[in-house]
A and B are shown apart, each in its own frame.
Chain A
Amino acid sequence: MAPLTASTQIAEAGLSRHPDAGLAHAPEPSADCHSLTVEIGGLPIRLRTPNAAFRAQIAERYSSFLRPESRAEMEFELHFSPPDPLSAEEKLEVCCEEGRWQLSRGEFRAAFDLHTRRGHLSFIHNPYSVDTVLRIVHSLLLAPAGGLLLHASGGIRGGRGVLFSGVSGAGKTTIAQLAPPDVQLLTDEISYLRRAGDGFRVYGTPFSGELGIQGEDVSAPLAAIYLIEHGARNRRERVAEAEAVRRLMRNTLFFAQEKRLVADVFSTVCELARRVPVYGLEFLPDARVWEMLP
């Protein structure tokens, strides 16, 4: 008898939408503060900075996801801080106390409150710090809502969303680059999923991989997930539910250890494997891979 047979680990972590009504009484930005609203996966987050040049930089970075007309559900004040050479390699830390989250790594410090829906971010002048904080905030807000962020590229073809999930080097960007012209690219790196009806819906994200291919602000029902790897031929094979859970968990972004949220993410991955077909996909790096997808 060998009851304990295997173990694996989540690659990273995330959580979800707070029941509060959002920033209904948020003050208007002051004259010396520049703001913009970035909406990803239907969740608008307002970013405010006293630096006009940095606002322009962020606006360019998230150009397809700017929604000035949306009412923000969370707001961050952005401030630059001088680099600290002693903490340059610091590991990402995420902790929560009574609804107040604190995030830190070498180049940034951030805190936000899920009750007031406000936060601040101090960072070295680097737009990727904003990217990192947005990923974490979205993952935290998604978890209780039955959603998650997945290491996956993806696209929409014929109204159906497909994702290609894998670790770094598995071929996410390669498949995105090989997409035929009729495919709307969701992302080449980080996919955004939410429960919708009996299934899941995928959304485009600006979170890009090594080649910086930004997704489009589009969404569709999720039709299939392919767990990809480079191979000597093109081959597709259905993955059993339990194995799909194990492999999807490895590619799920989650940054916190708050047990309720971790359980939410686990539950979402189980539902994902139950409701959406998951395939292993071995592929050659040419356009034929898209032709073998139903």
Chain B
Amino acid sequence: MTPTYIARSTAVAARRLGDEMIVMSALDSTLFTLSEVGAVLWQAADGRTPLDQIVRNHVCSAFSVDAQTALRDAQEFVRALAERGILLVSSQPMTSPAAPPGEAAGAAAAGEPR
């Protein structure tokens, strides 16, 4: 199976607040709240460690879940965040994560018309 490498986009800001991890996309100001497991995957997304290894090392033991189930859920999580441009995915290790497309400053959200 081709390994999957994941890296955090540079176009996001993230903050752990209590037991939640909140990630904000600077592209469209969308906020994402990650669960405990999601936060583990997010923090381990260094672009160099294969996803299946992250799951084995950080998820299975900590959350008492079997590897197959954990990997399937992790892949779904990665797909969801990659679609939103806040997580980068590659079949090769990423040493310097590229910025996602559509990053240029552009249209703004809004001012209220008066």
Contact = CB atoms under 8 A, between A and B. Distances in A.
Q: Do the two chains bind?
A: yes
B35 A95 contact: no
A263 B13 contact: yes
Contacts of A5: 33-35, 38
Contacts of B101: none
A124 interface: no
B95 interface: no
Contact of B18 (A12, A241, A262): A241
Contact of A91 (B29, B31, B107): B107
24 contacts: A3-B41, A4-B34, A4-B77, A4-B80, A6-B32, A9-B29, A12-B109, A12-B110, A13-B29, A13-B108, A92-B108, A92-B110, A135-B111, A246-B31, A246-B33, A249-B29, A253-B111, A254-B109, A256-B108, A257-B29, A260-B26, A263-B24, A267-B15, A270-B22
A270 B16 CA distance: 9
B94 to A, nearest CB: 19
Contact of B22 (A9, A245, A274): A245
A241 B15 CA distance: 11
A4 B77 CA distance: 7
Chain A's interface size range is: 35 or more
A8 B31 contact: yes
Contacts of B38: 3-5
Interface residues of B, number: 44
A105 B34 contact: no
Given A3-B38, A4-B34, A274-B17, 8 more contacts: A3-B34, A4-B32, A5-B35, A8-B30, A9-B28, A13-B108, A95-B106, A245-B22
Rank and list the top 4 A-B pairs by shortest CB-CB distance, nearest first.
Answer: A3-B38, A259-B26, A94-B108, A263-B13
Interface of B: 10-13, 15, 17-18, 20, 22, 24, 26-35, 37-39, 41, 63, 65, 69-70, 73-74, 77, 80-81, 103, 105-114
A266 B31 CA distance: 10
Nearest to B114: A128
A8 B32 CA distance: 7
